[in-house]
Structure 1
């Protein structure tokens, strides 16, 4: 069964794109067939993995409009790893008014994905709560929420979890909800914020912390996930541990 995971947080700057690029890189390296969808109009995930907008004018915009199939616009960037870029016009959909059925367009586009042998679909969402994020969440069985360990990060996760509860009232409970402490630094404020996250959210918070490291900042310039750019680095080991946790499929509390 294909697992569909949205990486989401309405707060910007929490490391969603870094998390998506490197987690999917590890999953593909482990032998899983992975499609990562860049549903953020900024297209940073695609750039991180070596795709430039001028090279691929088609993307998830065309899929949502019904003008292309998902697999037709996917770009193979490494063995087992395919990227669906945003497309030139995705920004037009960011503020589209919701109408009946419009929030299920991506779910419909993924209906037959299992027949293609895809193990994971991971969706990199923009920092918003609009049309694009609604489509991503409605298509997902699992959510991955990166959180920075600071005051604003804690405030953002509080608002995000309230929003998720509203989604669950309509769609039902998600299979898994993973909270990942990201962009961690060896400072007292980071350790205090992490402790609060674990106190309030318990097992939802993944044991592995993702540190802020120079090597992950270098990867986008080389168009590679860290597992390919620096396979023996501490960052690679962190993302391997995160992937193993998610592969374990631990149920949320």
Structure 2
């Protein structure tokens, strides 16, 4: 479990969350939702130790975050950042191999090479291994980023807007890969998402970030038209298709 107790989160000149208590369940997919600027990324950055915790206590699987070195934390949590234009021209294999960094004592071993090959095959992108990371598509780069996180071999994976800038086909590929990681490998997934529909379809739990507060619970209970209207100022409908619930935003003004 990721436990936040009496946490003050934000910056020296702007506190976003105060006296925040939150227990994020393990072995499920948790979506973090909220409008732009609500503090979603700041909350995640603080859990990752990137943003300094102003006060309170965070525990990752029972261990105080303050007592974990960067390398130790990287054995608990892998991160898939927002999709960005690549700066360096590495081969895909080398990008995925970087996921082994927390486990290295010197240069990559035969085991690290083997695990990298296995991760590429698991995701089905072994055909990209020798291609330039800069020259593959955005959807392929995101699959590579997730494969690198898988190769890090952590119980928790945090993803920051994993479907941003992707077309519908690649959104489907990424979200179904996330679902499989949870269902088949019992990975704990925490995702910052813009789309409540994705959260409804793919997450068991949900965190709504709103005006310095959070609402945490099961997605089917929280992602409802009343909350969508209050938080996003958009009407929506909750529909049932083949026994599954979906939230559909009504984006047309009458």
Q: TM-score range by the shorter chain?
A: 0.3 to 0.5
Flag the structure with higher helix content.
1
Q: TM-score, normalised by structure 2?
A: 0.32
Q: TM-score, normalised by structure 1?
A: 0.32
CA radius of gyration, larger in: 2
